[in-house]
Amino acid sequence: MISLAVRQRRREISVRIALGAAPRDVLGLVLSRALRLAAAGALAGPCAAFFGTRAMRTLLFQVAPGDPVSVGAGAAVVVAIALLAAWLPARRATKIDPITALRQE
């Protein structure tokens, strides 16, 4: 998804590089988008879990439904995986040759 977003924003990223964005700025641009998506997921997940765990109560072993540590750890794992998944497309985005990319537009 982030890879697709980077491809779609290739022109924007090229313009920003041509106007002075350093690789760290491009990394920040791509990773912040990934972080926003992951944060939305990490917030929506516990909400869904709140209702879902009631139905699954009988299947849980030694974990209380809505256990804050489990929910927090789950959310943290989601965010970490999203950032890891975004790292490669973000690195690729820093390597865009702005002039070639803009010429292809």
Partner 1 sequence: MPTIQSRGAAGATAEFREGHTVIKTRNLEKSFSTRAGQTWVLRRIDMEIQAGEFVSIMGPSGAGKSTLLSILGLLDQSWAGEYELFGTPVHSLKPKDRIELNKKLIGFVFQQYHLLDNLTVQENLDIPLSYRNMKGSERAAAVADTLDRFQIVGKKDLFPNQLSGGQQQLVGVARALIAKPKLLLADEPTGNLHSDQGREIMRLFKQLNDAGTTIIQVTHSEENAKHGNRIVRLRDGWIVEA
How many residues touch partner 1 under the rule CB under 8 A: the total is 18
Among 11, 27, 65, 85, binds partner 1 (CB under 8 A): 11
Residue 68 sits in the site that holds partner 1 (CB under 8 A): no
Closest to partner 1 by CB, 68 or 105: 105
Residue 99 sits in the site that holds partner 1 (CB under 8 A): yes
Question: Is 98 exposed, middle or buried (CB count within 10 Å of its CB: 0-12, 13-18, 19+)?
Answer: middle
Residue 83 sits in the site that holds partner 1 (CB under 8 A): no
Closest to partner 1 by CB, 8 or 54: 8
Question: Is 17 exposed, middle or buried (CB count within 10 Å of its CB: 0-12, 13-18, 19+)?
Answer: buried
Closest to partner 1 by CB, 29 or 42: 29
Residue 8 sits in the site that holds partner 1 (CB under 8 A): no
The CB density around residue 41, as the number of other CB atoms within 10 Å, is 14
Quote the CA–CA distance of 76 and 58 in Å, as a whole number.
25
Residue 22 sits in the site that holds partner 1 (CB under 8 A): yes
Residue of 25, 26, 40 lying closest to 82 (CA atoms): 40
